[in-house]
Structure 1
Amino acid sequence: MKKTLLALAVLAAGSAQAGVNLYDSEGVLVDVAGAAEVQYFQGYSANSDAAFRLDDGDLAFSTTVPVSNNLNAVAAMAFKFEDAGQSEAGVKNDELWVGFQGDFGTFTFGRQYLIADDSGIGKDIELGGDGIDFVQAQGDQTIKYVFDNGQFYAGVSALLKETNPKGNADETKIIDGRLGARFGDLDARVYLYSGDDVSSDKFDIFKNAKGEKQPVDIDGAQLEAEYIMGAYAFAASFGQVDYELAADTSKKVEADTAALAGSYTMDKTTFALGYTYWSPESSAMTVEDANVFYGNVTQQLHSNVKVYGEIGYSDVDDAEFGYVAGMEVSF
């Protein structure tokens, strides 16, 4: 799942290493971070055409305020700018939260991303195929706790309650977590996810007669490991997710996914290769397995500017040959 701008600007709130420091006085910090990314993109979808794509536009503000010697108050708000061709076009406030931070870790409350949003080890830019998909990893009624002492780290988050759209009376509830450890150059972790009445149209059997999303119960886990050896980096993962229609438990899909990826960095250039395997099974429908291979190269023109190119292949029937070229500028 895609990393958010929060990774740049906030969750280690108070760090001014990423973004721009707007204010720093008597321990009070205010930072801003942003990114703009545009691509020329051809995906795997059959009969699709290559076109410019406004892939990413983010703007985030964060603050850290010392309350005592061992306690800080933290807060953030973030906005994302969606391509006009997407379902949620325009500007959306996707983060608005407050919390506390200290030696005990960080507690945050409000509109934010769940722990599961950080899952995934792929080194793809856009063409990595279907990997682990927990469907929903963000919400307004969210509480999150993260802890990291350098070697061991953990986190848990919960979407306490969210009313589904289209007048559906069911309420979405999600709890997820992560437990990980670092041993030298090895980083290993496991993610767990459980969601009730999550709106999903990922598979046709989860849509109603009008083609609208219906509540689905989702349970899954993902095991990940990354190893760095000088200029080389290697990563592997295996995950399983079960999707079950809340109103009809006979309609369900069990999906296994695995991924391998590696990269080599030479000066300011990084080369990466990867493979993703996705295998869903269902007694109610036929779903095709997918094997996806990709390769890319990224050139870091500046610490805040990169350009890249990627090609990809999927063995799904009628899949197009994928390619993308893009540029990202961040601050």
Structure 2
Amino acid sequence: MKKTLVAIAVMGVATSAAAIELYNQDGVSVELGGNIEVYYSNSFDDSEFKQELGDADFSFDTRYAVNDEFSIGGFWEFDGTNDASLGDAYVGFYTNSYGSLVAGKAATVLDDMGIGSDYQFGLTSTVDAIDFGGFQVLRYNLDTDMFYGGVGVMQNRGQENIATGDADGMLIDGKIGVRFSGFDVVAFAGQEDIIDKDDKSTIYALEGRYSFDAVNLELGYYSVTLDKSNDLGGDTFAIAADYSIDAWSFAAGLSNVSPEDSNASSFNEGFINAGYSIAPFTTLYAEVGFNGDDAVNESTAFAFGITAEF
């Protein structure tokens, strides 16, 4: 699955703001969450507009309180975007003061990277070729309001067929961040060992955000070094901003990718969009995306659709 710099939901350690509480009694809680998105879009390579299903998933987050400090829970997510399949599925150990630990099928810490409030086109970076989600994941998170961080590990690169001997390698990553006076600065680092053990990807990233009134400004730097792989490595610089007024939201972003391969051209990619909240957690939107590099003319694509979250 192609990833962009837009951060995907943080693996359900904290449930959606729109989640529906199904049950809460005697220290047991169950929440239902999910989203649905339908949109029309063309692409940079094809001018024909097509209807697409962007999201169609739902999840259950169940927590059992052991005492006032500690609880244990299970999270199940089901993705119906294509054929119905299992999304994240893990057991979580949660505390009020000492963070949380989850084990199972989930995303590691580097999946939290991302700036920009796009819908379809996003900001491409040199980390896009790496998937930070899979099986055999352990992830720890701690958030003290001002300081936050986490570490994650995925054994055997999350492959299901480890019994065949085809899977090997490991992904280890972490982050540390601080919030103060409207600023939010976070640093990421990780290393992925590919199947043959001799092929490694080293990832570093730094993101900064500043929020005031209804405006959010974001900067990001992403670096990937590949020992052997033919995938895209190199550096990415990105900038994004968004503004909200009443039921309207507006956002834009731009990234520049400089490939590690000296024979590859650097390229830019960006987006501009507008969204209108017609109901709680339900948004109509339109977006324009563009890209281009040193070798080809810039191309443009369009999308419009509706997304709902619960």
Return the TM-score normalized by structure 2.
0.89
Residue 188 of structure 1, aligned match among 185, 189, 192? 185
Residue pair 2:127, 2:222 contacting (<8 A) in 1 also:
no
Give 1:287 shift. 2.2
Residue pair 1:164, 1:171 contacting (<8 A) in 2 also:
no
Task: Supply the RMSD in Å over aligned alpha carbons.
Answer: 2.4
SS in structure 1 opposite 2:110? helix
Task: State the match for 2:174 in structure 1.
Answer: 177
Residue 131 of structure 1, aligned match among 125, 131, 137? 125
Task: State the match for 1:275 in structure 2.
Answer: 254
Give 1:164 shift. 7.9
Identity %: 24
Q: Which runs of 5+ in 2 are unaligned?
A: none
SS in structure 2 opposite 1:177? strand
Residue pair 1:34, 1:330 contacting (<8 A) in 2 also:
yes
Residue pair 1:252, 1:282 contacting (<8 A) in 2 also:
no
Give 1:115 shift. 1.1
Task: State the match for 1:208 in structure 2.
Answer: none
User: Cα 1:282–1:5, aligned 2, differ >3 Å: closer, same or farther?
Assistant: closer
| Mapping 1:75-154, distance limit 5 Å | 75-82=74-81, 89-102=82-95, 103-133=97-127, 135-154=130-149
| Separation in structure 2 between the aligned mates of residue 176 and residue 273 of structure 1, nearest angstrom | 29
Q: Which runs of 5+ in 1 are unaligned?
A: 83-88, 200-213
| Mapping 1:1-331, distance limit 5 Å | 1=4, 3-5=7-9, 10-12=12-14, 17-44=17-44, 46-47=45-46, 49-82=48-81, 89-102=82-95, 103-133=97-127, 135-161=130-156, 162-163=158-159, 169-197=166-194, 216-245=199-228, 254-282=233-261, 286-316=263-293, 317=296, 320-331=299-310
SS in structure 2 opposite 1:315? strand
Q: AA paired with 1:148?
A: D
| Separation in structure 1 between the aligned mates of residue 7 and residue 214 of structure 2, nearest angstrom | 23
Give 1:318 shift. 5.7
Q: AA paired with 2:187?
A: V
Give 1:99 shift. 2.1
Give 1:319 shift. 5.5
Task: State the match for 1:205 in structure 2.
Answer: none
Aligned residues: 300
Give 1:268 shift. 1.2
| Separation in structure 2 between the aligned mates of residue 174 and residue 155 of structure 1, nearest angstrom | 14
